Amino acid sequence: MPFVRGLEINGFRGIKHSEGSIPLKKFNVIVGRNNSGKSSFLRALLLFPDPILQASSYSDLFLTHGSVWEGMVYRYRGKCVLKYATDLGELTFTLEYFGANTTAGAKAEFSFGGVERQEINLSPPQQTVFLKPLTYSTYEDRKYLKRLFKEMDPQQAALSHTLYVAEPSESLLLNSWPELELRNFHVEIAREVSKCVSDSFTELSIRMNEVVLRKMSDGVPFYVRFSDQGKGVQFLVYSMALIKLNSPTLVLWDDFGSYMNPSLVKQILEYLAKSSFQVVLTTHSIDVILELVEVEPEDSQLLQFEKDGRDVLHHRTLCLDEIKDLLDSNQDPRKLATAVGI
C-alpha cells in the first residue's frame, strides 16, 4: 500500500504549481524532459513529513541557489505550499521566505487534518547548515511531530522514514560497518551484487580502512576495492546498504539507471519491487522502462511529466499494460509527454 497517495505543489523550486494533486502508487517511475520538474518532485517528497530532521539529507536542497531558504521558493521569494495526501489525512507544509535582510525572515509551519497547527519560527539564515538557522529547539519540534502522528494512529509511531539515494558514499559504509556485519548484511549484499556482474563475491569486508568485496580466484581469496567498482555496482551496494540499515517507508531515487547495464537495472528493480516500502524513481533510460514491464511490480505506474512555459507541472499516468502497448507500437514513453502536449 502506498504511503504517500498524492502530492500537490505550489511555489516550490522551479514549479509555479502542479496541475492538481499528482497521484502516487506503491511503485512509481517518472519520465520527462530535462527541467520538467522530476527532481523537484522528489525533493518535495523528501520533505515529508518533516523537513527539519537531518541536515546531511537536506543540505543540498536548501543550498541549491546559494541560500538556505530562497532556493526552495518559486522565484526565490514568496510562499511555498506542499500538500501530501496520506491514509491518515492531508499533511500541509508551508514555507514563506521574505529575504534574509527583512525582519520577517522565513517561517515554516505544519498542519495535519484537524490537528492544531504547529508553527516553527525560523530566523533569517546565517549559516550554510540547514538545522542551524532553526531557532529554539529542533529536538523539541521533532518530538512534537512524532507525538502528533502517534496520537493520530498508534500504528504510525514513526510516521515516515524517507530515504533519498544519492551519490555512493564509502564513508557511510565504513561508519555503518559494525551494524552491517552484525546483521549479516555484508554477505546478503555481496550475493545480490554477484547475480548481475561477472564476478562472484562472497562478502563485503574492511581492509586497511577501505571497503572491499571478497571474491575467490582459483581457490584463493582476493579483495577488490569498492572504489574500483563501476558506478553501477557502487550504486547497488550503497543503495542496498542504505535500505537495509534504515528500513525506510519511502525510497526516492533520482536519475535511476545511470551507469547501469540492463541486467543491473533489472536486478535492482526486482529488489525494490519485492520490498514493502514505497518507491519513486526518475529516469531518462529506456532500459528502465523496458525492464519495468518485465519485472511487473505490484501497484505500479509510469508518470509522464511536462512543465509548460508558465512553469505549471502537468502529468499523465500510464499503467503497465498501456506502457506495453506503446512499446509494441514502437512509441517511446519518454517522448510521448512532449508529443501529446500534456
Nearest by Cα to 82 from 184, 7, 158: 7
Instruction: Give per-residue pLDDT as tens, 103-159.
Output: 445 566 656 555 444 444 443 332 222 222 222 233 344 444 444 444 433 333 334
CA atoms within 13 A on the CB side of 233: 21
The arithmetic mean of pLDDT across residues 247-268, rounded, is 88
* Exposure letters 176-199 (e unless 16+ CB within 10 A, then b): bbeebeeeebbbbbbebbeebbee
Question: SS3 for 17?
Answer: strand
* CA-based end-to-end distance of the chain: 28
Residue whose C-alpha cell reads 564513508 in the numeric block: 171
The pLDDT score that the predictor gives to residue 150 is 43
pLDDT over 70 (residue 287)? yes
Q: H-type helices in the chain, by residue range?
A: 38-46, 55-62, 138-152, 170-175, 177-182, 185-194, 231-246, 262-273, 286-295, 320-328, 333-340
Residue 296 near residue 25, CB atoms below 8 Å = no
The pLDDT score that the predictor gives to residue 1 is 54
Please count the residues of the chain: 342
Residue 39 near residue 313, CB atoms below 8 Å = no
Instruction: Give per-residue pLDDT as tens, 309-330.
Output: 999 999 999 999 999 999 999 9
pLDDT over 60 (residue 182)? yes
The amino acid present at 207, given as its one-letter code, is R
Q: Which of 29-33, 35-39, 138-142 has the lowest mean pLDDT?
A: 138-142
Nearest by Cα to 119 from 128, 106, 108, 134: 108
The pLDDT score that the predictor gives to residue 17 is 98
Cell of 340: 501529446
The angle at the Cα of 71, spanning 70 to 77, to the nearest 5 degrees, equals 35
Q: Provide the mean pLDDT of the chain.
A: 78
Domains of the chain: 4-167+249-340 (3.40.50.300), 168-247 (no CATH)
Most confident of the following: 4-18, 35-49, 93-107: 4-18
The pLDDT score that the predictor gives to residue 251 is 86
The arithmetic mean of pLDDT across residues 321-341, rounded, is 84
The amino acid present at 163, given as its one-letter code, is L
